[in-house]
Amino acid sequence: MPKHPPLSPIVAALPATVPFVGPEAQERDRGKPFRARLGANESSFGPSPRVVERMKAIAGEMWMYCDPDNHDLKLAAAAHLGISADNVVVGEGIDGLLGLVTRMYAGPDLAVVTSLGAYPTFNFHVAGTGGRLVTVPYEKDRESLDGLLAAVKRENAPLVYLSNPDNPMGSWWEAADINRFMEALPATTMLVLDEAYGELGPASALPAVDVSRPNLIRMRTFSKAYGLAGIRLGYAFGEAGVISDFEKIRNHYGVSRMAQEAGVTALADQDWLRAVVGKVEAGRKRIATIARDNGLTPLPSATNFVTVDCGRDGAFAAKIMQSLLSRDVFIRKPMAQGLDRCIRISVGLDHELDILAEELPGAVAAARGN
């Protein structure tokens, strides 16, 4: 006789893993905090002061449930994009929206295409549906559009994932290239275009907003440039019929009242967004300089982090990362073969980058055995 109720076959077959080990868990294991938090691609510059004031003002209203329709935020996001609210769905960050998309289009033994080493939370959700993940290697540190397209056609995949700009490499494709990729996709394949870093890269990387295509879902977040990673808020936009399908399965009370109000206020303060983008650009340049000063090669970035080629193999890059962690500097690194020669450093505040500049020489020396 079983000692507990059996899990569903899909969940029972899953390994006990999570996409990320957070810095908080690492700090608990270490017994002390990091001095520089440069690994989670957050915005150390925080949200707009107007957002902070609005959140303080409404804190006493949190006894009420949120608006399950996300009405005001949908209107604000739609106005920001120049589309109808019927073309927008709000969710608990892009991570939450990815969970919905995989439930909508993936399923047991269905092929789902992504890049090898791309955002692991998408893979996590695909596994939860029983989908069969098909991965395509990066090409010259960018997601391979030709490779993804070939895999979609070969596997007759109902779903393909592409991030632009990309995590973990910071690379990007121009809008014209993305448009050609979209045009070449089969009509039966849904493209999830993750634009979490879209505000931080060149405008030329973002295709024009077009909600007429029924096999495209584009996603944006408040976690990066808007400085609201802790509030868990994002939105997707696309053809109205596609967006309406989210209503069948989304958590209608999943986005808190506080998050909805924060999102509306954040979108209204584009001056703050522009200021943050400028600070991020300056931070990328400084990280690149620090890397070069230590004999490492920074890769071009359209995000709020810089991926740094350590010049050897994955084991050497891992030694540098571990040495920085032991020096209280939290960073991460790509893990897929070919990308694992790199470390990834988020833009932080000036004092955090001061710490990085102070500690990286010792970390590199230790990795080299000096």
What is the model's pTM? 0.96
| Domains of the chain, first to last | 9-46+271-367 (3.90.1150.10), 49-269 (3.40.640.10)
Whether the Cβ atoms of residue 302 and residue 198 lie closer than 8 Å to each other: no
pLDDT band at 88 (very low <50, low <70, confident <90, very high): very high
Q: How far apart are CA 64 and CA 222, in angstroms?
A: 23
Angle at 13 between CA 10 and CA 18, to 5 degrees: 95
pLDDT at 17: 82
Please tell me the predicted confidence (pLDDT) of residue 3: 83
Alpha-carbon gap, residue 318 to 316, rounded angstroms: 5
Model pLDDT, residue 16: 87
Instruction: Kindly state the average pLDDT of the residues 70-78.
Output: 98
Nearest to 209 by CA among 244, 235, 228, 172: 235
Rounded distance between C-alpha atoms, residue 101 and residue 161, angstroms:
10
User: What is the distance between the alpha carbons of residues 287 and 215, in angstroms, rounded to a whole number?
Assistant: 38
Sheet strand arrangement including 190-194: 88-91, 234-238, 216-221, 190-194, 159-163, 111-115, 132-136
Q: Report CA torsion sign: 200, 178, 331, 223.
A: positive
106 pLDDT above the threshold of 70 = yes
In this prediction, residues 271-293 reach a mean pLDDT of 98
pLDDT at residue 1 is higher than 80: no
Tens digits of per-residue pLDDT, 176-225? Answer: 999 999 999 999 999 999 999 999 999 999 999 999 999 999 999 999 99
Q: Mean pLDDT over residues 136-161, rounded?
A: 98
Question: To the nearest whole number, what is the mean pLDDT of the chain?
Answer: 97
| Range 106-114 average pLDDT | 97
Structure confidence at residue 4 (pLDDT): 87
Region 340-365 average pLDDT: 98
Chain segment 32-48, per-residue pLDDT in tens: 999 999 999 999 999 99
Those residues with Cβ within 8 angstroms of residue 345's Cβ, 6 or more apart along the chain or in another chain: 38, 39, 287, 291, 305, 306, 307, 308, 331, 356
Residue 2, pLDDT > 70, answer no
Mean of pLDDT values over 19-23: 89
Q: Measure the CA–CA gap between 81 and 87, rounded to whole angstroms.
A: 10
Euclidean distance between CA atoms 261 and 85, whole angstroms? 16
